[in-house]
Chain A
Amino acid sequence: MFWKRTIPAIIVAAVGVIMLLSWFIPHEPFGSLETHATQWYDIIASFAMILGALNLLRLQGNKVIKQKKGWPYALAAVIAFFMTLTFGFVVKGGFYPNITSVGDNPEAVYLKIAQVIDTDGNVSEEDVAEVRALYAIPGPDGEKVLLHKAVVSKRMAQKVVDELNTLGATASVGELKWGSHVQGNKTYYSWVFYSFFTPLSATMFALLAFFVASASYRAFKIRNAEATVLLVSGILIMLGRVPLGAYLTAWTQNIPWLSWFHLPVIQEWLYQYPNAAGARAIMIGIGLGIVGTSLRVILGIEKSFMGGD
């Protein structure tokens, strides 16, 4: 009990009080305590994300090994998981030719660069002029050449470097460091992010557009006065916030006594005043709730986060 419940309660109380006092006492030791305490929080939060990943692997892996219902899909999840991890920790990409000097034959070098960088395949005079402006005077650490490829391996970068060196430039293969490769260009990881994660994540949310429309049609009924107010408010916001609403009632702007009936004007008033009043009431209520719950947690009254024994 002591190790499982009392120690966590002490930790919660101690950390909570330190954080609270640090709002009021910026001096030492609270100043540096607070800085390091937030850093520890970040680190533990990171481990929580790693825990989530491992837990998923355990659940899906279990399904595959025991060949439970739907195990082929679980296998797909596991393969996708390991593919992403491989590109995060094993295979990087993210190489690039780095030019430190264009040499004695700059125009040939500029043409070569224009051919290999992000273009639609047709090299024009404007493209070469752009390249000239960027690469004529390379910086102290050189200038990167971003090849028109989804991912650039060491071999691809080396090939272009050899061609540039043959033309008289001084180039070498540069690479993104491990760590910055997860957010860099032309890496395997960024390719997975844009080819897999982005379309999946975005489409999952976009699906809701259809369900919102269907739900609006089926469930949004005028059953009583409150529902009517809700409906009218929603419709005014939906039409008043888009150009079509302004376009449909633009004619009212020419008649002084009707100008108030311009949809964007009605919408703006409704949004800024009655709606803001409701929003503020809810915000104050939620704020008081959070303050109350935080106090309960710090004082040890709320222990549900510990779970059962």
Chain B
Amino acid sequence: MAKNRSKAYTNLSNNFKDILEKFVNFLAKLDGLDRRIIFLIIGLVVLFPLLVPLGLPIETTQLTEDAFYAIDELPTDAKVLVSFEYGPSTKPEIHPMAISVLRHLFSKGNKVVVMCLWPDGLFMANEALDLVANKEFGLKYGVDYVNLGYRPGNEAIIKGITKSFKANFSIDSKGTNITEIPIMHDVQTAKDVDFIFSLSAGYPGAIEWVLYAGDPLQVPVSSGNTSIQVNQLLPYVKSGQMRGIVAGMPGAAEYETMVIRKLEENIGPITDHARTLLPNFKERRNATKFMDAQSIAHLVIVLFIILGNISFLVKRKKQKKY
């Protein structure tokens, strides 16, 4: 009987070894997985949470909070220059934060001067202003806000407006002479604005605003950027040359959350009309809705990296063995 038991153990042990070896071979083979399978998995993993939202809660970070409070602490009569430097390729990341920032500014009663250093930024600006300034807040063009339009020239435009807006933007985006626009009567140069917010996806963008307007004129600058740019801008934030950053889609979701929290908890100056828009803001927050998909996709990519490394280590061990 003892002999039979011993035989059984040996068989079990051999079976287990076989299974383990098969598993190890499978892991080693994974290294050469067809990339189309990876593409399919990524596609499904991004699509599923868009169709079936998970509702993960958003936790705000220091950078976004710094940007939010820098704007929130502005006096209600402050004029803010918002520059649109992104296009349709980066719209999913930056457009939600553009809308949130405009909502924040208009909720406080601030006046907004919009300009664009990217040609596509013009379309984005029109869309954002149409939704927020027109449809949501019902504001008056030329009095509460203005869209000066796009000018090519990159940092030369920024340098130019530190001397004269009129020289660089003789007409606004609708073809109206800048001297006929009430909001621009007190805004002759970039020094006359109280804050600069750059919505930027690359060059020219936040860096140029810091270099050519923020630092020389000592006008506070903040920005909303694509995730890729954020790391480049961090030194400016750490040195105080920028007041926080709204970083990519997660940053946009955080900003949306903070604007809603402001209205819910009645923090700081809020116009009467803005209070009535809270349900609207809660319903239309794209970045928050997208964060579920972003989260799952990140987790899957991390798992892919871990799996790839396990496969690599197993393969290397096998090669050393032989």
A interface vs B, CB < 8 Å? 23, 31, 34-35, 38-39, 41-42, 45-46, 49, 134, 176-177, 179-180, 182-185, 190, 193-194, 197-199, 201-202, 204-205, 209-210, 212-214, 216-218, 220-222, 231, 234-235, 238-239, 241-247, 264, 268, 271-272, 275-276, 279-280, 283
* Residue of A31, A38, A268, A276 with most partner-chain B CB within 10 A: A38
In the complex, how many angstroms separate the beta carbon of A116 from the nearest chain B beta carbon?
A: 17
On whether the beta carbons of A243 and B291 are closer than 8 Å, the reply is: yes
Given A213-B301, A220-B305: A183 touches B149 (CB 8 Å cut-off): yes
Closest residue of chain A to B38 (Cβ to Cβ) is: A214
In the complex, how many angstroms separate the beta carbon of A183 from the nearest chain B beta carbon?
A: 4
How does the 8 Å CB contact mask read for B55-79 relative to A, with 1 for contact and 0 for none?
0111101100000000000000000
On whether the beta carbons of A180 and B175 are closer than 8 Å, the reply is: yes
CA distance A218 to B31 in the complex (A): 7
Residues of B within 8 A of A177 (CB): 174-175
Report 11 cross-chain contacts, Cβ distance below 8 Å, ordered by A residue.
A45-B153, A180-B149, A180-B175, A197-B120, A198-B88, A217-B38, A241-B250, A243-B250, A243-B295, A271-B234, A275-B231
B302 within 8 Å of A (CB atoms): yes
B interface vs A, CB < 8 Å? 31, 33, 35, 38-39, 42-43, 46, 56-59, 61-62, 87-92, 120, 122-123, 126, 130, 138, 149-154, 156-157, 159-160, 163-164, 167-168, 173-175, 216, 231-232, 234-235, 238, 247, 250, 253, 291-292, 294-302, 304-305, 307-309, 312-313
**Secondary structure of the B contact surface, majority rule:** helix
Residues of B within 8 A of A216 (CB): 301, 304-305, 308
The count of A-to-B residue pairs whose CB atoms sit within 8 angstroms is: 176
CA distance A45 to B156 in the complex (A): 10
Residues of A within 8 A of B35 (CB): 214, 217-218
Q: Quick one: which of A220, A222, A247 contacts B56, CB cutoff 8 A? A: A247
Residues of B within 8 A of A205 (CB): 89-90
> What 18 additional pairs, Cβ within 8 angstroms, besides A39-B153, A45-B153, A239-B299?
A41-B156, A42-B160, A45-B152, A183-B123, A183-B126, A183-B150, A217-B307, A217-B308, A221-B308, A222-B313, A238-B302, A243-B59, A244-B298, A247-B57, A271-B234, A272-B62, A276-B234, A283-B232
CA distance A33 to B150 in the complex (A): 23
Q: Quick one: which of B58, B231, B299 contacts A279, CB cutoff 8 A? A: B231
On whether the beta carbons of A275 and B234 are closer than 8 Å, the reply is: yes
Given A39-B168, A49-B152: A279 touches B234 (CB 8 Å cut-off): yes
On whether the beta carbons of A214 and B56 are closer than 8 Å, the reply is: no
Q: Quick one: which of B33, B62, B294, B304 contacts A242, CB cutoff 8 A? A: B294
Q: Quick one: which of B59, B152, B297 contacts A246, CB cutoff 8 A? A: B59
Residues of A within 8 A of B304 (CB): 213, 216-217
Residues of A within 8 A of B156 (CB): 38, 41-42, 45
CA distance A220 to B173 in the complex (A): 47
